[in-house]
Amino acid sequence: MREILSIHVGQCGNQIADRFWRLILREHGLGPDGMPTGKGMTSNNSSMEVFFNKVRDGKYVPRAVLVDLEPGVIARIEGGDMSQLFDESSIVRKIPGAANNWARGYHKEGERVIDQIMNVIDAAVEKTKSLQGFLVTHSIGGGSGSGLGSLILERLRAAYPRKKIFTFSVAPSRLISDSAVEPYNAILTLQRIKDNADAAVVLDNEALFSIARGKLNRNPNYMDLNHIVALIMSSVTASLRFPGKLNTDLGEFVTNLVPFPGNHFLTASFAPMRAPGQEGQVRINFPDLARETFDEANFTAAIDWANGVYLSACALFRGDVRAKEAEENMALIRKELNFASYVPTGIKLGYAETAPEGFASSGLALVNHTGISAVFERLVTQFDIMFDNHAYTHWYEESGVSRDMMAQARETVAQLAQSYRDAS
Amino acid sequence: MNSSIESLIYSASRSVEEARRAAYRDPSRIGELVEHISVLADLRQKEGDFRKAESLYREALYRVQDVRKPDPELTLGIHSLLAYLYDRWGRSEQATEYYEKALKIATERGMQNTDKVATIKNNLAMIYKSMKDTEKAERYYHEALEEFQRLDGDNSSRVASVFNNLGVLYYANMDVERAQEMHERALKIRRDLPDGDMDPADLSQTFLNLGAVYKATGDFRMAEECVDRAKRIRSGMNGYVTRPRRAASLLIDRTA
Closest CA to A217 of A284, A292, A297, A275: A275
A172 secondary structure, DSSP code: P
Task: Summarize pLDDT for A388-419 with one digit per residue, the tens.
Answer: 999 999 999 999 999 999 999 999 999 999 99
DSSP three-state, residue B171: helix
Task: Summarize pLDDT for B41-78 with one digit per residue, the tens.
Answer: 999 999 999 999 999 999 999 988 877 788 888 899 99
**Closest-CA distance of chain A to residue B64, Å:** 11
Q: Is A397 a catalytic residue?
A: no
Q: Could you give the CA distance from residue A146 to residue A152 in angstroms, rounded to a whole number?
A: 10
Predicted model pTM = 0.89
- What residues of chain A lie within 8 A of the CB of B18, using their CB? 89
B168 — contact with chain A (CB < 8 Å)? no
Q: Which of B11, B15, B17, B50 to mutate to test the interface with A (most CBs of A within 10 A)?
A: B17
Please name each of the domains of chain B with its CATH number.
154-256 (1.25.40.10)
CB atoms within 10 A of CB A73: 21
State which H helix or E strand residue B255 sits in.
Answer: none
**Closest-CA distance of chain A to residue B25, Å:** 8
CB contact under 8 A, A116 and B16: no
For every residue of B53-107, DSSP letters joined together read HHHHHHHHHHHHHHSSS--HHHHHHHHHHHHHHHHHHT-HHHHHHHHHHHHHHHH
The average pLDDT across B73-84 equals 93
Q: Are strands A265-271 and A199-204 parallel, antiparallel or unpaired?
A: parallel
Q: Which of A92, A115, A122 to mutate to test the interface with B (most CBs of B within 10 A)?
A: A115
A1 — contact with chain B (CB < 8 Å)? no
Q: Is B71 exposed, middle or buried (0-12, 13-18, 19+ CB in 10 A)?
A: middle
A322 — contact with chain B (CB < 8 Å)? no
Task: Summarize pLDDT for A127-171 with one digit per residue, the tens.
Answer: 999 999 999 999 999 888 999 999 999 999 999 999 999 999 999
The average pLDDT across B110-120 equals 89
Query: pLDDT value at position A175?
Result: 66
B29 — contact with chain A (CB < 8 Å)? no
Closest CA to A379 of A73, A140, A102: A140
pLDDT classification of A246: cutoffs 50, 70, 90: low
Q: What percent of chain B shows pLDDT beyond 70?
A: 92
pLDDT classification of B250: cutoffs 50, 70, 90: very low
pLDDT classification of A44: cutoffs 50, 70, 90: low
